[in-house]
Structure 1
């Protein structure tokens, strides 16, 4: 690439970043792969939350991490808690966005990388919580009394994601 072309490309990136400052600073990323749309907070090991859906399926699969660790020992390839109950373990997740809130049944699995628990739940795309998230980008998830600090997603990104999930 010529130096002039490189400078033009750099200016184009800066122009986009200046035009969309919230998107430039946001850790949230919207992507599509393997027939799913994904909205993630962070990348790789730094990811605190992941929202996924099949386009227009009407449901959002949510995964987030907490420090609370139920896993005590392994039974074969499966983790078990102190009482011997095998994963996944039932958990109630309090999901909120703005004034909208709901208690949703979820499942907890051992988070072997971080030593806590990985929480999975299904959020209906048409639910008040999902619609409030689409409008504001704010989402608060609580399990085992722990609420990971999720920065708000840019509202335009959240709206695009939820729209892609809605029937």
Structure 2
């Protein structure tokens, strides 16, 4: 069974989607790649939504309040095998840290120049915030490629590292020319 609900968030309204007992989507309303209406999904007000959606809202609320660094939701992102391999790398990026598209490509054993393919898969991540695609920047440290908008990417990074700036975060990367 597929479910959905809309919840408020400090960066705009968020659509949550689930299938059975797993979260399948977290989307800022109106973002790039926003899903079209799914006639088979049962949409609920959050108070009446299935448990997985209520838990997702609670954990997102805690995240935005600065009380949660790690999500403990069952996830079921839908994508190609390559996309899922990239998304698996995203969940390994610790809270408050960043990585680059090139370094992810290297870890996946991809050929040089595969950073764009990683970026494309990153942009198609259907479970924003929970699968932290916002923690990936270019090798030059540029905030590129966030389907929810660069203003949201910047805000999410600032939420996770409120006392530092992106140039300081870049020191965490050992880019080695990537």
**TM above 0.5, one fold?**
no
User: Which one has the bigger strand percentage?
Assistant: 1
Shorter-chain TM range is under 0.3
